[in-house]
Amino acid sequence: MKKNKKIKALILKLVTNKKKTIFDIRKSKSVLVLKYDRIGDMVVTTPIFRELKKAFPDISISVLASKENRDVIKNNPYIDSIYINYKNSILKDFPVMLKMRKKAFDVCIELEHSVIPHAIFRLKVIKPKKIISIHKDGRYGVSGSDLKLYDYFTKKDKKSHFGKIWLDTLTFFGVESNSLKYDLFLTNNDRKKAVSFLNFFEGKIKIGINIEGSFPEKSIQKKELERICIGLQSNFQDIIIIVLASPKKLQGNKRLISELNLNYVFSSYETKTITEVGALIEQLDLIITPDTSIAHIASCFDRPVVTIHENNKDSFRLWFPTSSLSKTVFAKSTYGLIDYSVDDVVKSATDFLKIIEMKK
């Protein structure tokens, strides 16, 4: 077993070896950011694009995104080019990587916190002059600092949110910023669709509930949804509750709402893109959601948000919502939303609604 680990360590060192290039990254003309994972991760990454472009208006920023998260940045004015990555299909990705290699990027920012083989492979093919990454503990007994493929690592940070950890990669450009405001740029059509839908409920306090989690066991179940809705309505008569739904879940949500038979609970319209979801969230007064991308989208527009999180404080520290009004209710389980206090969810939401009502 030890011999096998040593062989893997040797291979890792060989694969990540490279000749050093003398280049001042503060003179960069082109930067590529690798972020081809989930929607929420991309939302939390958006301060990087804004703060880098503000500091270097003439710099060209490209992003290697995924099919899943590209809509988060499709209207972002700070980004010049978006490339799509399939992550698990080298054959599909290879032509795109060769295209990026021809661009001869000055700098690549890779935001993986672990040593990830598919990220290393992409970096080797794309071949930027300099590579920045966040602190990596290493793999197979090889420390992150021994991976010569990377030119700069941020310092190990066990206290901050991922938004701050990722933003710290800009310190190598001489950019110091603590602005963790997320960006999600909407079109006029996105907003018109949301406003038109909600006009039917004019004068009501509008609450959005997202029941979907990143995994089924991290979702809000029917029994808890019913109790949350009834609890909110018992405290505030003049409310409507919109259950958010992705296209695949829309019909299932409509059946669920029909079974609840509560005349103040409605399904959202079909939101086909993240910007359509964002436009609806922007118009709502309060969001209730499991710990998922919806919490980060609510933070983009500083919407009050109540999140339900598994009992994992490290995960919470890395991903907590950044809205100025936010409250998290923790489940007793360390994985999944099992045995959390619905009463605490209702109370937290009610407290926020009282603040909202006072401001109106």
Can you list the domains of the chain with their CATH numbers? Answer: 10-173 (3.40.50.2000), 188-359 (3.40.50.2000)
E strands of the chain, at which residues? 30-34, 60-66, 81-85, 107-110, 130-133, 152-153, 205-210, 239-244, 265-267, 286-290, 305-309, 326-330
* pLDDT number for residue 144: 75
Residue 170 has pLDDT above 90, yes or no: yes
Token pair, residue 214, equals: 């990143």
- Reported in sequence order, the residue ranges of 126-254 that DSSP labels E, i.e. its strands, are 130-133, 152-153, 205-210, 239-244
| Distance between CA atoms of residues 132 and 277, nearest Å | 32
Q: Given pLDDT bands bounded at 50, 70 and 90, which one contains residue 32?
A: very high
pLDDT tens track for 277-314: 999 999 999 999 999 999 999 999 999 999 999 999 99
The residue ranking higher by pLDDT, 8 or 202, is 202
Give SS3 for 247: helix
pLDDT tens digit string along 311-354?
A: 999 999 999 999 999 999 999 999 999 999 999 999 999 999 99
pLDDT digits (tens, 9 = 90+) for 33-75: 999 999 999 999 999 999 999 999 999 999 999 999 999 999 9
